[in-house]
Amino acid sequence: MKIIFLTGNKDKFSEAVEIIPYLQQSDIDLTEIQSIDPKDVILHKLEEAKKHIKGNLIVEDTSLTLEGMNGLPGTLIKLFLKTIKNEGLVKIAKSFGNDKATAKVMIGYADEKGECKFFEGLIEGRIVKPRGDNGFGWDEIFEPQGMKKTFAEMTTEEKNKISMRKLAFQKLKDAIEG
């Protein structure tokens, strides 16, 4: 079975292929729309991708939501990292007096018939001052609930065992393989 994961992010791809070994990567450039609902962002990308690529397609959206920010940064996390960086996110969490955060991976899977299904992986945690240097993006400021390490303090193996990406791709795998 051939499934194409549409992403330009090789870190995301390598986490995913650990779980579903027959995934293929395509780093076609897809438009990201402004919406705080990841399903909107994903559906728009899948529609665009279908014009260029045939097959079973996967689009993934990773979001980080600060409880105090009522949905932000959410799907906009990439633009936050580009501008105010992890340090800025830490400052904001502090100013809102709320360090709770949710990391979410939403996968949209469109099969060759065009049907689309969603699979979600969620992990609760809190925003802390940067610690660790493994990982990417906001890994260094996210400490999963019940853990004493940030994602960036874990080995890749440790992280992949518990991450929201693992949860989402596991659900997708179960659905595909029945």
Q: How far is the CB of 100 from a copy of itself (least distance, A)?
A: 15
Residue pair 109/143 in contact by the 8 Å Cβ criterion: no
Q: How far is the CB of 103 from a copy of itself (least distance, A)?
A: 17
Question: Which residue, 8 or 88, has its beta carbon nearer to a copy of itself?
Answer: 88
Angle at CA 70, nearest 5°, toward 63 and 68?
100
Question: Which residue, 14 or 70, has its beta carbon nearer to a copy of itself?
Answer: 70
Question: Which residue, 50 or 117, has its beta carbon nearer to a copy of itself?
Answer: 50
Task: Give Cα 94 distance to the centre of its chain.
Answer: 24
| Site for a copy of itself, rule CB under 8 A | 31-34, 36, 44, 69-72, 75-76, 78-80, 82-84, 88, 91-92, 94-96
Question: Which residue, 84 or 162, has its beta carbon nearer to a copy of itself?
Answer: 84
Q: How far is the CB of 143 from a copy of itself (least distance, A)?
A: 21
Residue type, 41: V
Burial 29-54 (b: 16+ CB within 10 A, else e): ebeeeeeeebeebbbbbbebbeeeee
